[in-house]
Amino acid sequence: MNAIEWYPIASLLGSVNSAVREVGLSPDDVINLGGNAVYCWMLYHFGPNSVTSFRGTHDLDFLISDDGKFDYVLDSLRDTGKVRSYEKRSSPGLEDKVTYEVIAPAFLGFTMGLGVDVYMPSSTGARLNRRHLYRDVVIREAPVDLGFATVPSLFDIFLMKMDICLDSHSGLRDKDRSDIATLAVIRGDSFSEFVQRMIDDSSYSGESTSDICMKLNELYKLFRELTAQNSFYEPIFEEVKQKRANYHK
């Protein structure tokens, strides 16, 4: 993704997260998901340079407490000129999801329309792929207030990324591989603990042995490649290799 596409999206994301606090909402009324959650974690740990080092994303995803509050945020941004306009539409067959088409101010002469997917948890949570997400405990852990944005924990983001192995039936996408590598850098040496915790979560969720093997195979391929480039990833690769060997006996 090139800079002309990503920079206005990054700017809009920052405006949304700032507006949540400026209009008086609770930080956990709007929780970042997907790529924008990874980007927020990068900003928290690595600072403004993250704008240029992040992979970029074409859309934004949020978990919100109720539909009207996100309208309130966008209305505030429209009033201050940070959003030109927006339209909202429901998602057929998905009662807990709405999509906004947001028109951002012109950037370098280009007018950009951006898709924003918003998930609203009911009593049974908001459906996202095979998961049900909740405001107080997104999957297994409470969301984290970074001071400028609220995000799922690193582990919950990792679980959502690894679900892609099963949902896509074709392994991890390039952007998911990039995000997992980033999570490993942020978490450091203790990222290896996530491997066993993922296995425990998969078993608890009723996933089959073949499902777990698929996830471990994808992690094995990813961290084998990363270790060849940087020895930082070697302890994680060794942990994945051991767990993978146990499941392939």
- For residues 69 and 186, membership in a common domain is answered with no
Q: Which residue among 152, 179, 210 closes a domain?
A: 152
What pLDDT is recorded for position 130? 81
- For residues 6 and 30, membership in a common domain is answered with yes
Percent of the chain with pLDDT over 70: 96
- For residues 115 and 205, membership in a common domain is answered with no
Domains: count for the chain: 2
* Mean pLDDT of all residues in 93-118: 82
65 has pLDDT over 60 = yes
Cβ atoms of 34 and 61 within 8 Å: the answer is: yes
Tokens of 86: 């927006």
Q: Alpha-carbon distance 227 to 229, whole Å? A: 5
Q: Which residue among 127, 152, 177 closes a domain?
A: 152
Q: Per this entry, what is the length of the chain?
A: 249
| Span 109-164, pLDDT tens digits | 566 788 999 999 887 788 888 889 999 999 999 999 999 999 999 999 999 999 99
Band of residue 181 on the pLDDT scale cut at 50, 70, 90: very high
| Span 227-239, pLDDT tens digits | 999 999 999 999 9
Tell me which amino acid residue 87 is.
Answer: E
- For residues 25 and 124, membership in a common domain is answered with yes
Q: Which residue among 98, 128, 152 closes a domain?
A: 152
Q: Which residues contact 92 (CB under 8 A, 6 or more apart)?
A: none
- For residues 146 and 157, membership in a common domain is answered with no
Sign of CA dihedral 226, 204, 163, 47: negative
Q: Alpha-carbon distance 114 to 112, whole Å? A: 6
Q: 85: domain CATH number?
A: 3.10.450.620
Residue 102: domain span: 1-152
- For residues 102 and 141, membership in a common domain is answered with yes
- For residues 194 and 95, membership in a common domain is answered with no
- For residues 46 and 137, membership in a common domain is answered with yes
Counting Cβ atoms within 10 Å, is residue 200 exposed (0-12), middle (13-18) or buried (19+)? exposed
What pLDDT is recorded for position 195? 97
- For residues 188 and 239, membership in a common domain is answered with yes
- For residues 49 and 101, membership in a common domain is answered with yes
- How crowded is the C-beta side of 74, counted as CA atoms within 13 Å? 19
